[in-house]
Structure 1
Amino acid sequence: MADYLLKINDRAEDIIDFTPEEISQITPDEIQRIFYDLQIHQIELKMQNQELRTAQEELTRSRNNYHYLFHQLPVGIVIVNSTGFVEQVNDTLLEWLGIEKGRLVKKHLSSVILEDDKVLFNSRFDSFFKNPDGKSLVLSVNGRKNVALKVKMSGKKIGGDDVVALMNQTDQTLIITVADVNDL
Structure 2
Amino acid sequence: MSDEMNFLNAKMLRKKAEELLNEKQQKEKISKEETDMKKLLHELQVHQIELEMQNEELRQAYETAESALKKYIMVFELSLVGYFTLDSDGTICELNFTGAEMLGDRRFSLIDSNFKLFVSEDSKPVFNKFFRKVYNTNAKESCEVLLGYDNRLLCPVYMEGVVTEEDQKCLLSVVNISKFSLQNNKY
TM-score by length of 2: 0.70
Higher Rg: 2
3-state secondary structure, aligned to 2:83: strand
Task: Give the one of 72, 81, 86 matched to 2:78.
Answer: 72
CA distance in 2 between counterparts of 1:158 and 1:134 reads 10
Runs of 4+ more than 3 Å apart: none
- Percent same amino acid at aligned positions? 27
- State how many pairs are aligned: 148
Deviation at 1:124, TM superposition (A): 4.0
* CA distance, structure 2, for counterparts of residue 132 and residue 77 of structure 1: 18
The structural deviation recorded for 1:76 is 1.3
- Residue by residue, what CA displacement relative to the aligned partner does 1:135-184 show, whole Å, maximum 9, x if unpaired? 322111128xx433111111133223xxxxxxxxxx22221111112222
What is the rounded CA distance, in whole Å, between the counterparts of 2:136 and 2:49 in structure 1?
A: 53
Unaligned runs of 5+ in 2: 1-31, 181-187
**Residue 50 (structure 1) aligns with:** 56
Consecutive unaligned residues in structure 1, runs of 5 or more: 1-25, 161-170
Greater shift in the superposed pair: 49-58 or 124-133: 124-133
CA distance in 1, matches of 2:105, 2:71: 24
| Cα contact 1:77–1:93 (8 A) shared by 2 | yes
Give the TM-score taking structure 1 as reference length: 0.71
- Which structure carries more relative contact order (alpha carbon 8 Å, separation 6+)? 1
Residue pairs, 1:152-163, within 5 angstroms: 152-160=158-166
Alpha-carbon distance in 1 for matches of 2:59, 2:95: 30
SS at match of 1:27: helix
Give the one of 171, 176, 179 matched to 1:175: 171
